[in-house]
């Protein structure tokens, strides 16, 4: 495949940034989107140009690093996947593809496609922990957990912190992320001692970090690569209402 990419280039946080067009030739339809960017970067380096900065690590859909907007959609047109798991066969020979960083006030651009997602860390630091002693691996069965609760907690725990939910939300809200983190601990017996303080503290941290409020648009769950359901935001709001006076 021969394609054109229009990539957001921004030297640093203070730079205004601009879209730059590049031709990328002879790309296999089975290449991943990141491999296509690798090919572009190899050419830029050989030409003595600055390669495009982008985040990546596992390249197998589990670390959440590879966030970018592709043709205006978080993680691209396939939806519910990560950029590293998106393949070029979802595009056509001759296509022009726009590639931009996450656009959210709480995720400032560091360089090109790389944004600072440290705001997520402040939410986790505010309540993403338990204090109940859980022992070592052999003690794992000492506290019985009903199967439906274990399954629901596991589903919530699959959130990889990629930030696609924030990038897709017209309000730049991180409610789906926070809801997943609150649910995955709050559904388990070990998470009960901090259940009230956790939800209030994490929502306060979310507001302090500059994320917007949730107005139930649902864009977040549409692009979430792990299928975190919107119902967890309802659960978060219920927990918050019950906890606000108890902390
Ligand atoms: S809720 Fe989904 S989209 Fe949001 S950070 Fe977690 S995995 Fe990514
Ligand atoms: S590089 Fe880890 S999820 Fe894409």
Domain stop point among 61, 88, 111: 111
- Shared-domain flag, residues 102 and 130: no
Q: Which structural domain range is residue 92 located in? A: 3-111
Structural domain count of the chain: 2
Which residues have CB under 8 Å from 186's CB, separation 6+? 192, 195, 198, 199, 239
Residues 103 and 121 in one domain: no
Same domain, 167 and 106: no
CA gap 159, 1 in Å, rounded: 33
My answer on whether 32 and 140 are in the same domain is no
Ligand 2 mean position to 63 CA, how many Å?
A: 5
Task: Go through the chain and tell me how many residues it has.
Answer: 247
pTM: 0.95
Q: Which ligand is nearest to the CA of 226?
A: 1
Q: Which of 111, 137, 165 is the last residue of a domain?
A: 111
Residue 37 maps to which CATH number? 3.10.20.30
Atom 8 of ligand 1: nearest residue by CA position: 162
Spell out which residues line ligand 1, taking CB within 6 angstroms.
159-165, 176-177, 180, 224-226, 228
Distance in Å, CA 230 to ligand 1 centroid: 11
* DSSP classification of residue 123: H
**What is the CA(67)–ligand 2 centre distance, in A?**
8
Boundary of a domain, candidates 57, 92, 111: 111
From first to last of its 247 residues, what are the pLDDT tens digits of the chain?
999 999 999 999 999 999 999 999 999 999 999 999 999 999 999 999 999 999 999 999 999 999 999 999 999 998 889 999 999 999 999 999 999 999 999 999 999 999 999 999 999 999 999 999 888 988 888 889 999 999 999 999 999 999 999 999 999 999 999 999 999 999 999 999 999 999 999 999 999 999 999 999 999 999 999 999 999 999 999 999 999 877 6
We report the CATH number of the domain holding residue 216 as: 1.10.1060.10
CA geometry: angle at 233 spanning 229 and 239, to 5°?
135
Distance of CA 94 to the CA centre of its chain: 29
């Amino acid at each position: 495949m021969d394609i054109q990419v229009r990539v957001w280039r921004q030297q640093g946080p203070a730079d205004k940034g601009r879209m730059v067009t590049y031709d990328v030739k002879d790309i296999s339809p089975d290449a991943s989107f990141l491999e296509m960017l690798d090919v572009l970067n190899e050419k830029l380096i050989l030409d003595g140009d600055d390669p495009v900065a982008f985040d990546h690590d596992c390249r197998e859909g589990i670390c959440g690093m590879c966030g970018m907007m592709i043709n205006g959609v978080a993680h691209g047109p396939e939806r519910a996947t990560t950029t590293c798991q998106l393949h070029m066969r979802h595009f056509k020979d001759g296509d022009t593809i726009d590639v931009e960083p996450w656009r959210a006030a709480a995720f400032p651009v560091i360089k090109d496609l790389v944004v600072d997602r440290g705001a997520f860390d402040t939410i986790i630091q505010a309540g993403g922990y338990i204090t109940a002693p859980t022992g070592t691996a052999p003690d794992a069965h000492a506290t019985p957990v009903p199967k439906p609760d274990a399954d629901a907690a596991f589903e919530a725990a699959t959130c990889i912190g990629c930030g696609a939910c924030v990038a897709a939300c017209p309000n730049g809200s991180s409610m789906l992320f926070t809801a997943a983190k609150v649910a995955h601990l709050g559904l388990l017996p070990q998470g009960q001692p901090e259940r009230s303080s956790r939800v209030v503290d994490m929502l306060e941290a979310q507001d302090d970090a500059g994320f917007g409020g949730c107005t139930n648009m649902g864009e977040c769950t549409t692009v979430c690569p792990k299928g975190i359901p919107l119902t967890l935001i309802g659960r978060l709001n219920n927990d918050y209402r019950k906890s606000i006076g108890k902390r």
